[in-house]
A and B are shown apart, each in its own frame.
Chain A
Amino acid sequence: MKTDEPADKIKALTAELNTLGMQNRDEVEQFIRIFKTLIYNHKMIGLLHDYYLEDIRVIRENRVALDGLDALIRDTTEFLAYFPDMAVHVDTVIVKGSEQEGYKIFCRARYTGSNLGSSPYGLPTGKALGEGCMELSMLSMKKTSAGWKITDEMVMISRELIESTLKD
């Protein structure tokens, strides 16, 4: 059955995510790759609850800040709604820190997909993002009483490219 393959993939990735103890930089890199893949390729948006602090502040490009987990979830959901066939490609992960002190992570990724959903600019355009939709991010992760959490984040994406894809 067609849906079996992605269903099994999600299960396998989630199982792998749950085994990661963040004990070294390779596990941290693996976490980032799997986490982003589950959210963007497999639309597992609810996982944001598992790994972000409730009162997270995500600083975005162009002097925009997302205050609180709800704002982040809304923003992510909208992005996926505009490009429901979205895939993330993680190109680079740079890690500093340790299990004891926590980690600082820098990530470069690309997003591919086509505007197949409505957006604030109107009906779907069908235009593709191409290969140039770049995202750079820097985040901190710390071990809390509720497990490993992302405690702060700065994310910048090719905003103008995205907007041009959403406009006819």
Chain B
Amino acid sequence: MSDESIQQRRQREQYIDSCTLQSPLEVARLFEEYTKVIWNHKMVGRIHDFYDDDCIIHREGGEDVQGLMNVFSGTLNFMAAFPDLKFTFIDIFAEGNPEEGYRFGQALYYEGCNTGLNPYGAPTFKKLTEDVPCLALCECLVKKVNGRWKIVEEWLVRSSAAIDDTLNSGEEYED
């Protein structure tokens, strides 16, 4: 990892650690930096910072993800499949206030190549984004829980079929 990347990560972490969520603008920047620290800089343990123990993530197939262990599992699986995974933000904005909490919506796309773990077998070396971005949209509800700001509920739609297609070369796996 380059010094520049480490420096960038530290700057992001500094913002995350000092942010007091006083305005929607701050909240939007906070969660962009937070997302990048976890996914682009692989600081996965920071999921603990802002995800509530009982956070529910509503997914596009109707299957909800509940509990931090499942959040960790999903994150690590995706990262392991695409070791160069990078989240690129298109936009993020929020509404709300320090008293009642915030809602934010974000749009981003995934870049990365399947060179790692693959549930179907050998890595395919296919890319997530080529001509049209491999998009993900997400909404989060952020509230104060025991004095700490937490994501208590999330709605996430990923391009699941496109991700699956990137992992599936269609060739049979030979052990």
- Seen from chain A, the residues whose Cβ lies within 8 Å of a Cβ on chain B are 25, 59-65, 92, 94-96, 104, 106, 108, 130-138, 154, 156-161
Contact = CB atoms under 8 A, between A and B. Distances in A.
Nearest to B166: A63
B42 interface: no
Which of B90, B131, B132 has the most chain A CB atoms inside 10 A of its CB?
A: B132
Which of A92, A108, A136, A160 has the most chain B CB atoms inside 10 A of its CB?
A: A136
Nearest to B104: A94
B162 A158 contact: no
Contacts, number: 105
The secondary-structure label for the interface of chain A is: strand
A157 B158 CA distance: 9
B126 to A, nearest CB: 12
Interface residues on chain B, size class: 35 or more
Given A94-B95, A106-B139, A62 B159 contact: yes
A138 B91 contact: yes
B157 A160 contact: no
B155 A108 contact: yes
A131 B58 CA distance: 12
A153 to B, nearest CB: 10
A156 B62 contact: no
B132 A156 contact: no
A160 B135 contact: no
Given A94-B94, A95-B95, A108-B155, A160 B107 contact: no
A154 B137 contact: yes
A63 B130 contact: yes
A134 B155 contact: yes
Given A92-B103, A159-B161, A161-B61, A136 B137 contact: yes
A160 to B, nearest CB: 5
A47 B87 CA distance: 35
B49 to A, nearest CB: 23
Given A108-B155, A156-B159, A161-B61, A63 B91 contact: no
A63 B136 contact: no
A60 B62 CA distance: 18
Contact of A63 (B93, B94, B107, B162): B162
A72 B24 CA distance: 32
